[in-house]
Every structure is written in structure tokens, then in C-alpha cells.
Amino acid sequence: MKLATVAFYAFALGLLAVGLRELLTGFEENRCSMTYMFEYPEYRRVALPRRVARQYPAYGLYLYGEGLYAQETRELKLTGAPVLFLPGNAGSYKQARSLGSVALRKAENMEGGLHFNVFTVDFNEELVALYGGSLLRQTHFLHESVKAILRLYKHLKIPPQNVVLVGHSMGGVVARALFTLPRFNTNLVSLIITQASPHLAPVLALDPYLLDFYSAVRQKWVSQVNKLRNVTVLSVGGGYRDYQVRSGLTALPCPSGDPNKLSVVATAVPRTWVSTDHLSIVWCKELVLATVRAFFDLIDPETRQFTENPEMKMAVLNHHFIRHPVRMLGETQDTSISFSDFPEAWSEVNTLRLAYSTPKEGQVKYFLFALSSRRKAYSHFYCRSTNLEMTSWVYGCVHKNSSSCVRAVDLSMGTELLPAYKVLILSLNDLSSVTHLVVSASNLNGRQFTVECEWQRQESQTMLVPVPHILSSGLTVSDVMVNSSGLLHTIKLQHFHQAYQAFRINVASQCKVHKDRLSNVYRLKVPWFREDSFTIVSVPSVTEISGMLHTSRPDNTSDVLLQLHTAPNCQYKVSIKTSLPRVLGQILRFCGPMVPVYTAATLLLAYGGQLSSILKSRRAANMGQVVAKGLQPHKVNLPVYILHILLSYSWFQEVWSILWLPHVDALPPTFPDIAFHRDTPVEEWPHILSPLIYILGAAVAYWGSTVLSLIIRLISLILAPLHRPSVSRDCGTLRLESQVFITLCLTVIGLTSCGALSIFAAFLFHLYRVLRLQMTVRSLSHMLNLAPQKHKEAENGTVDTESKSKDCNGTPLLSECALQEVRDDLQLHLCLSSLFVLPAFLSAPSLMYWIRNLRYSVQLDPDPCWPHTVPLIIVYMLLINCNTLKLCGSKLLPLTSCLPLPLAVTMVTFSPLHLYRVTYFLLAALVPLALCCLL
């Protein structure tokens, strides 16, 4: 049975390891180009008012500069447009150098002296993603920084009226929180660009201040959505390389009807098309260039500052981050275009497909496609060109003479930029007033490129393929054969709409005739969110595409599309099969915060099993056995799932609200509209997968407790020479006076400095008790190995067995019974130590924050541990002297042993989004045990 248990938890640990490996390393290599500084970067500190400097001694405001520009701005006489960079969790203010350097180099080539002044804020590299107590302080300092920046421009005739904010990670959340301040003038900031910022919810909610901060930001942007419509916000997620902040969390929780809020993943950004990790999104050259280009297009030529026109801002951001058309931004579209009369430059195409490569020498070339003979047989016209210049290239002819088009309208605005070429798809139903289509293949500058066009019947080039079930584990394959008679084929992936689904999509291409062909582009298109991904391959080839989602489908109206921009006269085989490692990676990506909760629930049930064993047999069970039995999904998951089903009924919700019960916890929704509409039901798939998450959490508890036992054995061996051998079960206990003194000292330290420090110190005191018990077990075991020799001496009369020392219960101190009693106490305290690790772990971020800021303040303010610091210290100190003998004689033990199960169910119900609540549930289970030691 023990071997089967170890094998089961080894298998569960293997699943967890496979999921973690896929989450952390199962993605493409970093394809971002590095940004470099051409001159040494300098950061000039901006003086703030004395009141601000005294109030925020750990923070600072700097101006980025290089070389000559840094010398010119030494006196802070600035004339550019202000941009303020905000670092994120543990981020440095020096991360602004990529944005600042690229903006500076691009300004050197601009006419009229247009440039930017890039400022950056030093937030002392605080861990604000784990400790939310300083988020409000950072927001207030940001307000002061914005006002200080604008004061630097008072000498200008037309000074800037607002500052553009660029926030990385939690810096983007702080930027949006600026509008929650009561005295903040919303006109000071009209554009915010965030990079890998978790807007939807915090990654881990380890203290209540973090959730309160998010709640205030959400309430402000939801309740005053009309007042904040003039504020344009763009959120960019990193993609699958960013395992710290999944891209689903970067979606802005705003109504879909708000036109000034955009969310996009970096893989879908035109001219970027790469996935970035959490840090490289700051310096990724492709993304930095898109940001800087947008900044220059946002400049009003009259004021030489950022425009305040919301429509203009959205047009620029859509141009550079959403859909990059071929027309230059700001270029007016002519309703009628006239062509020069060069009959030799015109060619009419009567075939179904055109493939043309321009010659080396420059020429004027136009192709005419007649619509009259194609309207009934075809639905769309598809055209692509490797010429990526921003020029018009497809027109609709409205007046034609014998051989050429005289007057036409420009149809190029529908062009979409893909990684290898630009593509235009025209619906023939929208071209009723057009007689011919004109495709320009002119290369006046002598640059060679290729143009391919064809008539399409979209219905015949669209195929439906149901994806395999998630439980198929790769054994079932859905495949389809595409005989490429066209340039574009679309495969609808049916039943692919949940975030936990993951597939390996293989596309194998082969051609009968080998010749130079354009690269193929495979696009995984998600209609409900801008998270498209692109793959560029040559022909023939075998390519694997990762089929995963950042967000679940909000409705049943659309399917994920696999668009194949193919080569003609080739054959493509598309195979789709479930990838178990990627499924596990997706589950951990979305449900990872639930694993610690189930780990705590397992340890809590193990603690209950230990108390039940003591109650029934007056003996403590082995630590590994009780932890192994802590996996009880039928007792934990089933009540939670039934509760969620009942909450779907309105009458039960009314009863729930009448009883003033808190909201049931659930993971953040995987789609922003679900987060915005609170009446929308919570997604059910995390609850369906909860048994698997429970198994993973139980594996962490089982192997974690095993490692803890091994560490205690190792440390006890190291410390054994420093202690006298002991044979008493009371080794490591504290006298009443010492208990009171230590409790008072730790309480004072916790209330005047940092509660996490006191909790950690109390945990170490209890750990010392466990170490002494381990030493005692080893000492007794070694002594009892000599027992046969002592019995022989007793038979010869050399040892007086009646005069052996005995303990207070009459049990000889050197006996198998005494050894068993110490072992029982050791198993009990090992179980308690496993529980005590959790509060110490959950309070570690605030302890690290306090240590990093110790030079500025001795007291942690605010302290998230203050409500439970004193109770935890008292419980830890009381349980140091606890043993199985005292528990067996307590009348409270039967009641105490019944509490862990309902507390575990309640913990799983109310703690996935509020991880800090785990400590309160553990405290509710430990306080009765401490009373058992007293009563």
C-alpha cells in the first residue's frame, strides 16, 4: 500500500513537473531584436518639492538622456513632448533606456526638431505584485511627478497640457489608478500605454491591500466610463513567453462599446509578430519601434505636443498596433483617381490567377481584372504582394476606355500587413459600382517584388475540422487534406474555444513542381480577442503550430480559424492532436493560484487525520500516511461544486445575500467582457478540472512534507554535537516564564516593526522544538541498541533494574514505550510544522519588502499581517509544549478533530482569489488545538 501511495504521488509530481516545464520553457525562442544605446545613458534627477521629497524618500524622478542631448538638458530647459515611464514589480527606472534611446535616434532624422523628453520614475524596485501596501503610495507619487514634469515646461509659449504614460507590469496598473485620486485632474493624462500589465486581476492576491487597490481602480473606470472616454488606453500582452503575467490578464476590463480602450497581444501587433517574456517586452526592438512610431504620429504639428483629439489617438494606435494598412497615416483618400494614358502599361488578365514578378529596371505596370464575368462564379478577390511599401496598389475602375482605366477609386485601405507580404481580400458584393479591378505592379524605384492575385469562391476554400477531445491524449488525430488550387484556405477548428485546450497542429506541404515560391504564412486567428499568431515557412516543409488560447470564447458565435496563405498547385496535410503537456501547462497558467489552496487543504486534512488517530488509538500516525490520506476530493470538491450550482439559482443567491455571506471565490474570467458584466455566470471549467488541481496540490503537500522531514533530519545531525543527548519527550519545550517573555517580545516586534518577522521568528522557535525531538528519537534509538547487553548484566546482578529512572507516568525513560512516545510527539509536531510553513510563506513578501525598505522606515506601514500576528504568535508558543499525552486528556480534542474538514471546504470556496485568507482558516483550526493543550 505504501509503495502504491508513493507511486501515485510520484506520478502526480511528474504531471506537475511536465506542466511547469511546458509553462516555463514550452515556447518559441526569443525572436525579439535587442535595442542598443549608441552613447552612454544618463539619468538626471529632477528636483521635487521638499514636501514631496520628505514624504517619499525612497522614490525619485529622472530624465533620460544620452551624449549631446544629455548635455543640452542639464539645466532641464526642455522643449520636447513629455513621456513618463513607470517600472513594474521589482522594476528599475533604468528600464526606460530602450524607449528613450530609440525615440532619441528617430528624432535625429525628423524635420522641425520634433523630439520627446523621456522621464522615468524610481519606485525603489518594490515588490508591488506581491505586497500591495505601497501601490497607493506609488500612485500619489506618480501624481506629484506628473505635476513636476509639466512645471518644467512653463517657459514655453505653448507648454504641454498632458503627459503620456508608458507602464510596464504593475506600472501600468498604477497609471490607471492615477484617476482614482480625488484631487487628480484627468486632463493631465490622456494616453496610457501598458506593457504586460495585469489589468483584469492580480497574479497572486497575497494581501488584502492588493485586491482593495484593484477594486478601487475597477470601480472608478466602470462607474465613470463616460467621463474617462477621452482617456485612451492601450494594453499590450507579451504572449506565451510571458509566464509571469498571462496575456489574458492584460485585457482591459472595460465595456466592449468603449472605443478608446484597446487590448492586444504582441504576436498580433503588425511589424512585431513576436512573443515576449515579462522583461523583454520593455526592450523588444520591434515593439519599441511600434511605440515610438505611434508617438511621432501623435504629435500635433501646430502645438508640437501630443494631440488631445481622441479620434486621432485611436486612429494612430489602430494603425500601428491593430491593423497596419498601406496608406500612410494622415493621408487623405481621394474619391477619384485618374491614370496617365500609357496603353503599353496596361494588361488585361483573363485567367483565374495572376503571378507576376517585376523586372530589375523600373517600369509602370497595371493589370485589369473584369468583374462582369466573375460575379456569379466567385465571391472574393484575393491579392498579395511582397512590396511592403506604404502605397496604394489596388483600385476599382469606374470608367474605362478600350484598353485602360481612366478613373478609379482606391480600394487599398482594406490591405492587411502579414509577416511576409501585404494581403487584400475584396468581397465582390461590395463592388457593385466597379466594372474592373486594377492592380498596380509599378516599380519606378527599380525594387523587385512579386504580385499574386486570384478569384476565390470562399465557401469551397473553407473547411470544418472538429478538434480532438482533450482526453484523447494525442491518440486521436483530426486531419484534413488541402489540395491547394488557390492562395488562401481557411480551416475552422470546431469545438476549440476553451483556455484549457491545447493542440499540436502539424502542416505538411509538398509540391509536384519545385520552383521559387513565396513563403507560406499560417495564421491562427481568434475572432473574439486580438491574440493572433503567425508562422512563416517555406515550401515544401513540415511545420508544427501551437494551438492554444489566451482567452476563452465568450459566446457560441465564432470558431478559431487556421488561415493558410499557401502556394498554388501544392498539397497540404493538416493534422491536429491534443498535447497533454501543453494542456497541463495551460491548466497551470490559468489555475496555478488554486494549487497552493489545495496544498493547504491537503495539509489541513492531514492535520485532522493526525488528531483523529490520537483520539482513537492514543498514538500519532506517520506523517507521510496522514498527508497521503489528505487527498479527499469527494469530501472537498463535491460540496464546493454543489454550492456553485446552487448559486446559479436566484433564490439561493437571495438567501446567500440575506445571510451576509461573502462572495464565492473564483479565478479571474478569461475574457474581459465577462469581468465587466458582474451578472455573467462564472466560468465552470476551473471547477470541472478541480480534482486534477487537487491532485497537484496534494502532490506538493506530500513531497513538501517529505522534504521538510528530510531537512529536519539533516539539520538535527548537524546540531546534535552542540546539544547533550536527551531521552525526555519534554526536550525543546519552554517554561511558562519563557513562553510569556518570548510571546511579549515577538508581539512588540510585530506591532512596532513587521508582523511577518515575528511570525517567522515564532516558526523558528517551533522548528527548534521539532529538531530537539528528532535528536531525542535518534538518541533513544541508539541507546536501545545496547539494551540486550544491559539485560545480560541485569541477569548477572551487576545492574539494578528496579532503580532505573522513570518518567512521571512510571514509564522507564530508556524503553521502547518511551521511544514510541517521543516518536508520536515528533510526528505530531512535523504535521504542525507543515501547517506553520504556510503562514510564513504567505507573509514572506511583506517581510522582504520590509527588509528592502528598512533604511527608510523601521515599521512596515501598512502591515497586512497585523490582524493575525498576535494570535499566530500565541498559538505557536502554546503548541511548542504540546504533546500527545496532553491531547489525549483534553475534552476538546473530539471537537477539534472535526473542524479541519469543514474548514478545508470553506478554504477552497473562499480562498482561490484571496490567498491571504488561507492563514485565517489555518488559525481557526490551530486555536482549538492550543486550547486542548491548556484545558
Residues annotated as catalytic are 169
Residue among 914, 934, 935, 931 at smallest CA distance from 923: 931
Q: What letter does residue 416 receive in the DSSP assignment?
A: E
134, 89, 212, 228: CA torsion to nearest 10: 100
Cell numbers found for residue 355: 503571378
Q: CA–CA separation, 170 vs 90, rounded Å?
A: 9
Residue 771 CB partners (closer than 8 Å, separation 6+)? 712, 715, 716, 719, 732
Burial class (CB in 10 A: 0-12, 13-18, 19+), 789: exposed
Of residues 267, 278, 322, 280, the one with CA closest to residue 33: 280
Task: Judge contact between 386 and 484, C-beta under 8 A.
Answer: no
Report residue 432 CA to chain centroid gap: 48
Alpha-carbon gap, residue 74 to 84, rounded angstroms:
18
Please give the torsion angle defined by the CA atoms of residues 566, 570, 576 and 580, in that order, rounded to the nearest 10 degrees: -80
Q: How far apart are CA 392 and CA 440, in angstroms?
A: 8
**Backbone CA torsion sign across 405, 406, 409, 410:** positive
729, 42 in Cβ contact below 8 A?
no
DSSP for 753-813?
T-HHHHHHHHHHHHHHHHHHHHHHHHHHHHHHTTHHHHHHHHHTTSS-GGG--B-TTS-BS
CA distance 44 to 61: 8
Residue with grid cell 548484566, as numbered in its chain: 793
Cα atoms found within 13 Å of the Cα of residue 885, Cβ hemisphere only: 13
Neighbouring residues of 545: CB distance < 8 A, sequence distance ≥ 6 = 504, 505, 506, 507, 522, 524, 533, 535, 562
3-state secondary structure of 504: strand
Read off φ and ψ for residue 666, nearest 5 degrees: -150, 155
Q: 571 has which bridge partners?
A: 483, 510
State how far the Cα of 104 lies from the Cα of 42, in Å rounded to an integer.
13
> Which residue is listed with cell 510520484?
10
Q: How far apart are CA 579 and CA 564, in angstroms?
A: 22
3-state secondary structure 515-537: CCCCCEEEEEECCCCCCCEEEEE
Task: Give Cα 776 to chain centroid, integer Å.
Answer: 47
**Nearest partner of 374 among 459, 425, 431, judged by Cα:** 431
Long-range residue pairs from 645-650, CB within 8 A, at least 24 positions apart, any chain: 648/681
Rounded CA gap, 597 and 908, in Å?
6
Distance separating the N- and C-terminal Cα atoms of the chain: 38
CA 810 to chain centre: 61
Q: C-alpha distances in angstroms, 35 versus 101, 172, 280, 573?
A: 8, 22, 10, 39
